[in-house]
Amino acid sequence: MIHSLLSRLLPKSLKNRLISVFLLCILLPLILLSVYMFNSVERVLQNKANERDREQLFSLRQRLEDQSGILVKTWTMMGQDPGLEDMLLYPENYEWSDLKKRIEGKFYGISNSFFLTGSQAYYTILDRKGNIYTSFYPDEPIRYDRQISEPGFQGVLRGNQRYLWVTNDTNYVKREVNRSARMVSLYAALTSNYEELYAVLRISMDYEEWFQRAVEASDQNAGGVYYAIADRDGGTVLSSLPDRKLPQESFIRATAAGEKKDGISWRDGEEGILYTAAYIPSLDWYVVKGTPLSLLFAEINGMKGRFFAIFAVFMGLAIGVTVILSSGITRPLFRLQRKMEIVAGSDLKAVLPETKSTEEVQSLTRSFNRMVKDIHDLVNRLKLEERQKQAIRFQVLLSQMNPHFLLNTLNTIKSIAMQRDQDDIHDICVSLGKLLEAGLNLDVDLIHLKEELGLVSAYMQIQNSRFGRRFEVDYEMDPSLHYALIPKSSLQPLVENAIVHGFGQTAESGNIRIRACRQGDRLVIEVEDDGIGLHAAEAKPKRRANAGVGLSNLRERLSLLYQDRAGLSLEPLPSGTLARLELPMLLATPYRKEEEPHENRAVGGG
């Protein structure tokens, strides 16, 4: 039982068995073991790198939070200073120069207390009496009305918040003193004991300077390692490498899935960088470190290179042995192939005898015999199709000769009618000529609805001349649909059907209504008549042998042009018949010249 099961599972040919044993027993286990070992080593290295980077970023985050905490302490100290409160509430009690000197002294004293080792802080106070006080020389004159209208000051003045952070604030400091583009600013309310707001304080810190100092002692430029500050959307606020930006898409995915308090790590496959980020709640920022995977896995990549070099040598030897073993099988097959080429070149109908031989030779012989038979059948079908194409081409050329002759004859009759003032004959010739020209134009399948209605008018001109002006046609449609594309000669068969079957067996006059409207991405065209009706027409005997050819021809053309996205239906009415044609909405509005401003261009499509 085991032997029969193995015989069914194992390949039949010796060559395939050798290859299967080599792949399953040697190559596959070796590849799986190697992949497992290398992945395990990479995971260990990545975890260690994540732990080290988290510690560095948590330390960097704590230093930045300490700096922001100092700004909050500075606000608290200023808010509790009664002397500063008196000066800002009653500035009229002081000389301006003395008042300015006193407040600048407050700024200087606080800076010496809190900012001895950190970044420089810059103070701005706006009181409620139109005065502004700064601890710095501005790059350009500061106006009270412009400052008070800034979002930070307005957010505090409106009472929405006692304080707020602005992480991308304007730097007003003189450029010779500070060249940074932006600042981190704390806007805070200074209130009295009665909660009366008497001034708004802005404390700005140069976070670019702080950031550069913070990463100077790190390994920021070692092999492409860099630090960055990013906002919540992954936008790079600062980077230790100016030309390096964070990948926003992978950043957003990682921050959305990770826990902010524990730090976030992710790998960006496109850039080949391992990122670690720590969240700063007070500023809604992330401190990010990027380490190239090539640097992190440099040693393991070297091991991979050596391993795969040895593996390639081993594979070369194994393939060589396989070729030697299989040559004993492929050599007789090659001789058989040469014999088949000789036979196939002399007689395409010849077949090879299926003599008793190895399984490979028998299979090849059967395949060759099937191929010869298929090729013989295919050649016969191609010959038959070629003869059919020639016959069709001859019929097309012949059918084009007769209409061209008829069109030239109509032009001659039209000229004679004009010379003899026979307007009716002239009009019929013009209408018939339009229909013939449209039928001869085989290069166009779709035309504008406006042109198709012109063909219907030409057809009705002929029918009314024939039946004594018995029929009237009304058109109901939006002018924007004039340039909708529909199959050529698709309405004329519907109108002809209404005349022949609706009115052809009566002597009464009739009305035909043609409506077109847009329903979503569909164009619906309806042809309604008030004739004898669908059921009465079907009950009457057919006068023509080819009755119904026009509608069946139209349905076949719709199927060729639109597959199953178009339809034609006939519906009985209490008085008459309704033919409904549904097509995909396609608009092709032509270019309008400037001298035609009264016409509106239709916009849309299907």
Is residue 265 located within the same domain as residue 357? Answer: no
Choose one of 251, 269, 295: the last residue of a domain.
Answer: 295
Residue 367 lies in a domain: yes
Residues 6+ apart with CB under 8 A from 582: 522, 523, 524, 525, 566, 567, 568
DSSP conformation class of 587: B
Burial of 34 (0-12, 13-18, 19+ CB in 10 A): middle
CATH code at 492? 3.30.565.10
In this predicted model, what pLDDT tens digit does every residue of 169-213 receive, in sequence order? 888 888 888 888 888 899 999 998 877 899 999 999 888 877 887
Residue 70 lies in a domain: yes
Is residue 101 helix, strand or coil? helix
Residue 116 lies in a domain: yes
**Total structural domains within the chain:** 4
In this predicted model, what pLDDT tens digit does every residue of 407-445 receive, in sequence order? 667 677 767 767 777 667 777 787 777 777 767 676 778
The two beta strands, 273-280 and 485-487, are: unpaired
Q: Does an H or E element contain 129, and which?
A: none
Confidence at residue 600, expressed as pLDDT on a 0 to 100 scale = 40
Residue 464 lies in a domain: no
CA distance 496 to 7: 74
CA distance 44 to 50: 10
Q: How far is CA 447 from the centre of its chain?
A: 32
Residue 44 lies in a domain: no
Say if residues 453 and 493 touch (Cβ distance below 8 Å): no
Is residue 100 located within the same domain as residue 197? Answer: yes
CA distance 102 to 107: 9
Residue 26 lies in a domain: no
To 5 degrees, how large is the angle CA 117–CA 123–CA 126?
165
CA distance 546 to 503: 18
Is residue 522 located within the same domain as residue 492? Answer: yes
Residue 22 lies in a domain: no
Burial of 64 (0-12, 13-18, 19+ CB in 10 A): buried
Q: How distant, in Å, are the alpha carbons of 58, 480, 578 from that of 485?
A: 67, 12, 22
Confidence at residue 442, expressed as pLDDT on a 0 to 100 scale = 67
Is residue 219 located within the same domain as residue 199? Answer: no
Confidence at residue 465, expressed as pLDDT on a 0 to 100 scale = 80
Confidence at residue 386, expressed as pLDDT on a 0 to 100 scale = 81
Is residue 188 located within the same domain as residue 225? Answer: no
Q: Which residues does the chain have with pLDDT short of 70? A: 1-18, 113-118, 217-223, 258-262, 323, 325-352, 354-361, 392-408, 410, 414, 417, 422-423, 438, 440, 442, 469, 504-505, 507, 541-548, 591-606
DSSP string, 312-333: HHHHHHHHHHHHHHHHHHHHHH
Confidence at residue 523, expressed as pLDDT on a 0 to 100 scale = 93
DSSP conformation class of 277: E
CA distance 425 to 442: 27
CATH code at 227? 3.30.450.20
Q: What are phi and psi of 130, to 5 degrees?
A: 85, 15
CA distance 483 to 494: 20
Phi-psi region of 524 (alpha: psi -120 to 50; beta: other; left: phi over 0): beta
Is residue 84 located within the same domain as residue 162? Answer: yes
Say if residues 178 and 135 touch (Cβ distance below 8 Å): no
Cα of first residue to Cα of last residue in the chain, in angstroms, is 66
Confidence at residue 596, expressed as pLDDT on a 0 to 100 scale = 44
Is residue 163 located within the same domain as residue 265? Answer: no
Is residue 153 located within the same domain as residue 218? Answer: no
Is residue 217 located within the same domain as residue 188? Answer: no
Say if residues 249 and 313 touch (Cβ distance below 8 Å): no
Confidence at residue 605, expressed as pLDDT on a 0 to 100 scale = 39
Residue 51 lies in a domain: no
CA distance 148 to 142: 11
Amino acid residing at 164 = L
Q: Does an H or E element contain 192, and which?
A: none
Is residue 123 located within the same domain as residue 244? Answer: no
Q: How distant, in Å, are the alpha carbons of 249, 294, 378, 586 from that of 271?
A: 12, 10, 54, 45
Say if residues 359 and 367 touch (Cβ distance below 8 Å): no
Query: How many CA within 13 A on the CB side of residue 260?
Result: 13
Choose one of 205, 228, 250: the last residue of a domain.
Answer: 205
Is residue 266 helix, strand or coil? strand
Q: How distant, in Å, are the alpha carbons of 57, 261, 265, 274, 303 from that of 48?
A: 14, 19, 12, 12, 19
Is residue 195 located within the same domain as residue 241? Answer: no
Q: Where are the alpha helices (DSSP H) in 420-477?
A: 423-440, 449-467
Q: Which residue segment(s) compose the domain that 253 sits in?
A: 211-295
CA distance 529 to 511: 6
- The candidate with the shortest Cα–Cα distance to 229, out of 219, 221, 239, is 239
Is residue 383 located within the same domain as residue 483? Answer: no
